[in-house]
Amino acid sequence: MAEAPLTDRVAEIGALRARYGERTGVLVETTLLRRRAVAKLPGTGDWLFTDEALQQATAAPVAAHRAARLAGRAVHDATCSIGTEVAALAPVASGLIGSDLDEVRLAMARHNLGAAALWCRADALHPITGDTVVVIDPARRSGGRRRFDPAAYLPPLDGVLEVYAGRDLAVKCAPGIDFAGLAELGFAGEIEVTSWSGSVREACLWSPGLAEPGVRRRASVLDRAETLTDAEPDDCPVAPAGRWIVDPDGAVVRAGLVRQYAARHGLWQLDPQIAYLSGDALPAGVRGFEVLDELPYSERRLKAALAARDCGPLEILVRGLDIDPDALRRRLKPRGARALTVVLTRIGAGAAARATAFICLATPPVS
């Protein structure tokens, strides 16, 4: 089955059914899930999955990053599902327990990881350990749909924080979770926002016993092995655009650490309320936008300026303005040969606010 192309299942299914009989459907699904898992979970070629479990599974680099913070500790993964967190923890934890309420996923975890952990069926809201770090990844999908309300997580986040109050606890959450809402739930630890492969993957809640002293927010950009916290200096000036515009990584923006990032890299803000930064040099490993022109924004003026620069392929970035980049690109109809980027943003507040367009030349990350 692993060798079957499965690119034309209508044509192939008859031959597969003749060979595998009533197991065909399950084998086809398992094969397809394993192929989807290659990029997200390398080295899991013989694992068992469900579609929903694979969607929710933590990408291997993100799970390894979390595991590194727990090295040397005994850990209980109280929502182990198919075992992705346990797989990351196994090389570094001093002991491992994996539990889940779902018997099917628990059986898959046993198949996937064998003796890497002690396995048992248990409800995460009824603790079965007392001296371990507890890791919980509440389900945020049901029937393929995302759950955005933390109270609708399975198990509910408020219940998790109440049951494990005073324990060393790490909870994986959606990156868009409301930080103010967490405070209302009594959470007083560290919120770490992590990105990998160009996108924000999660927010992890670290209880006070696992948090770095004085740190409440952290951004971890795994692609660049860069970590930033709110304990760092944030003395960042506001000034007109220099040679470059920098759009900070999404983890930095989501964690509210734009000013700390600017201070670290010698950048400044274009506006105190907007995440775009500027500078005369690019931070290492960061994609930048070299400013060619700056003009007050109007579609007519922007269209003329782009045509004068022979713009064809066009990337549009927007912050602080109610503009749909795709719809604007269709209206601008660039037909030239030169690839350009337009950065649209609001500068100033109240009556002094002005929409501004920066026409830029995008550059790949510098080493």
Alpha helices (H) along the chain: 9-20, 24-40, 51-56, 60-69, 84-89, 103-113, 157-163, 179-184, 250-254, 258-265, 299-308, 325-332
- Compute the mean pLDDT over every residue in the chain, rounded to the nearest whole number: 91
Residue 16 pLDDT: 60
Name the pTM for this structure. Answer: 0.89
Q: How confident is the model at residue 17 (pLDDT cuts 50, 70, 90)?
A: low
Q: 280-295 in b/e burial notation, b at 16+ Cβ within 10 A?
A: eebbeebebbebeebe
pLDDT tens readout for residues 77-120: 999 999 999 999 999 999 999 999 999 999 999 999 999 999 99
CA–CA dist 280, 268 (Å, integer)? 10
Residue 313 pLDDT: 96
Cross-strand partners of 170: 135, 206
DSSP symbols for 27-53: HHHHHHHHHHHHHHSTT-TT----HHH
Q: How confident is the model at residue 191 (pLDDT cuts 50, 70, 90)?
A: very high
Is residue 323 classed exposed, middle or buried when 0-12, 13-18 and 19+ CB atoms within 10 A define those classes? middle
Q: Please identify which residue in the block is written with the tokens 């739930």.
A: 185
CA–CA dist 268, 239 (Å, integer)? 7
Q: How confident is the model at residue 140 (pLDDT cuts 50, 70, 90)?
A: confident
How large a percentage of the chain has pLDDT more than 90? 81
In 3-state terms the chain splits into helix, strand, coil percentages (rounded to 5) of: 35, 25, 40
pLDDT tens readout for residues 223-280: 999 999 999 999 999 999 999 999 999 999 999 999 999 999 999 999 999 999 999 9
Residue 182 pLDDT: 94
Q: Please identify which residue in the block is written with the tokens 């990881």.
A: 113
The torsion of the CA quartet 57, 61, 66, 71, rounded to 10 degrees, works out to 120
